[in-house]
A and B are shown apart, each in its own frame.
Chain A
Amino acid sequence: MTLSKESQTFLDNLRIYLFASSRKEAEVIEIMEELEDHLYEAEQDGKSVEHIIGKSPKAYMKEIEVEVEKDSRFWLIFVPLIMLNGFAYLIMNKAIADDRSYSLLALIGSPAVFVITILLLFSLYRFIAANKVSKKVTLFLYLLMGTVPTAMFIGILLTDLFIETPAITISPLMNTVVIIAACLIFIAAALYWKAWISVVVPAVLYIPQIILRYTNINEESKFFILMSIFIILSLSMTIWYFTQNKKED
């Protein structure tokens, strides 16, 4: 069963459009299959895509969007979990180094940048999917999109560097609590995504660091031990990834 390029493009764009408005995946798949079936039969009968979806693909996409249920899990679970996961890495690095001072600006700014980036990216996806945008303009928009979060993060870093922004310092006890909280987040993420990698990566990154802190090895050897662990891990992960891919082929 093959569709004309025009029909396929419309279906692809519809999928992106509905994905970027965080609609329930099962419902999206259902209506996509139905439309694919319809477009195929219509093409066999020599009808044009316009005959099916009307003059404006955008209007039709909106019509469908209204009826497909929203997936609240995206903003309620998915986004907070990614954000917490990112935070957990950041916090672990600082907590292990016993750096207990946190910039308030970075603490509030980083999640804000993350959310703004998702919102911008989703509206960009929807815009490109629903409107006829040339390849050049699309490329330009994506490049622009790429620079926005980077610029915002650099902005936060520079502000923290050059201006005294309010910071909070936590007690050593709180520092331990923070480490435990970060560990729980890693485990929760692994359970939610059903992927061990969310636990394995931080474990390999941080457990040797913690052990080495309490042993009497000189700084140079510590560095070599950490580096070799890191290299062995990345190599074995790359090899594992390729063998896994081969199996699937």
Chain B
Amino acid sequence: MSTSQLLKGILEGCLLAIIAERETYGYEMVEKLASYGFTMVSEGSIYPLLLRMKKEGLVSTTSKVLPSGGPKRKYYQLTTEGQAELEGFKERWAAVSSSVDNILRRHQS
């Protein structure tokens, strides 16, 4: 099953936040996501998403040769557009999560 649109939007916001911390690469992002408990998607699904984010100009990439040798590794950085998108996501998420919380809380009581 493919990741639902809603989850993809959330995943995109989380990736923006992780890349905003410092430049990073795919596997490291997945590890960070997992360390926060974000394991609802298969690891590989970040790559099609990263590809789209790059096309939309939210992130830029640089290839670096590892000191240990082997193939080049692709590192992602946040662009100014990405920064703005992250701020937008934070606002949207705050609105969505607080309203969902409110509804669920009323439902419980």
Contact = CB atoms under 8 A, between A and B. Distances in A.
Interface of A: 1, 27, 30-31, 33-38, 41-42, 47, 50-56, 59-60, 62-64, 66-68
B71 A66 contact: no
B52 interface: yes
The range of chain B's interface size is 20 to 34
21 contacts: A1-B70, A30-B74, A31-B47, A33-B71, A34-B26, A36-B71, A37-B25, A37-B26, A41-B27, A51-B42, A51-B43, A52-B42, A54-B42, A56-B1, A60-B44, A60-B45, A62-B2, A63-B45, A64-B47, A64-B48, A67-B48
B73 interface: yes
A117 to B, nearest CB: 30
B29 to A, nearest CB: 10
B43 A52 contact: yes
B51 interface: yes
B90 interface: no
A47 B44 CA distance: 12
B72 interface: yes
B70 A35 contact: no
A53 B74 contact: no
A37 B45 contact: no
A55 B44 CA distance: 11
A41 B25 CA distance: 12
A67 B52 contact: yes
Contacts of B42: 50-54, 60
Contact of A37 (B1, B51, B55, B71): B71
A8 to B, nearest CB: 14
Contacts of A35: 44, 47
